[in-house]
Copies of this chain bind each other. A is one copy, B any other.
């Protein structure tokens, strides 16, 4: 969806997006009205339609941008020429940190799939699948190399991603553990789940 060119419009466009993400993550797409989003940023409901053709497009754009950024962020840190074990470690640490940092978008991407039109769903689902395939390839390579014990890579992939993503439902910034400690705890579980022993120190 095209952005308008005016001066204040740029600011408002961003504000619309941020307010929509926050409100939809908290209350759900169907429960949030365009009026609520408008009120959150201090404009009237009609003004929102300068920045989105309709409510559905707002949801699709939020999810699409999130998944594009997620895939790009992994590409930027993905280790090349590393062993499956090293790639798994990098993926777990990346996933936990990224999903905590973008909790609202993550919650929307996971919970609001059913509020997409069929056409929009296909687009988003393909992106989600591309992300899933990153981990699945790591598991397959590790199984092929004999370092992982993973008889069903697709099931293991979904199990691990569900486990890791779950952190977004309970993590609090003021909790007893910081992000790195949590990531290491999840990493130890993920390593065990694919049949790797604890690293040397233990």
> A182 contacts the other chain (Cβ, under 8 Å)?
yes
Evaluate whether A160 and B163 lie within 8 angstroms (CB atoms) in the complex, with A111-B111, A114-B27, A151-B185 already known. yes
* Copies of this chain in the oligomer: 2
Main secondary structure of the interface of A (DSSP, over half): helix
Please report the C-alpha to C-alpha distance between residue A194 and residue B190 in the assembled complex, in whole angstroms.
10
Q: What is the number of residues of chain A that contact chain B, defined by CB distance less than 8 Å?
A: 38
**CB-defined interface of A98-117 with B at 8 Å, one 1/0 digit per residue?**
00000000000001001100
Evaluate whether A159 and B149 lie within 8 angstroms (CB atoms) in the complex, with A31-B30, A114-B27, A194-B192 already known. no
> A155 contacts the other chain (Cβ, under 8 Å)?
yes
Q: What B residues does A192 contact at CB under 8 A?
A: 149, 192-195
Q: What B residues does A202 contact at CB under 8 A?
A: 149
**CB-defined interface of A167-185 with B at 8 Å, one 1/0 digit per residue?**
1011000000100001001
> A162 contacts the other chain (Cβ, under 8 Å)?
yes
Q: Which residues of A contact B (CB under 8 A)?
A: 26-28, 30-31, 111, 114-115, 149, 151-152, 155-156, 158-167, 169-170, 177, 182, 185-186, 188-190, 192-195, 198, 202
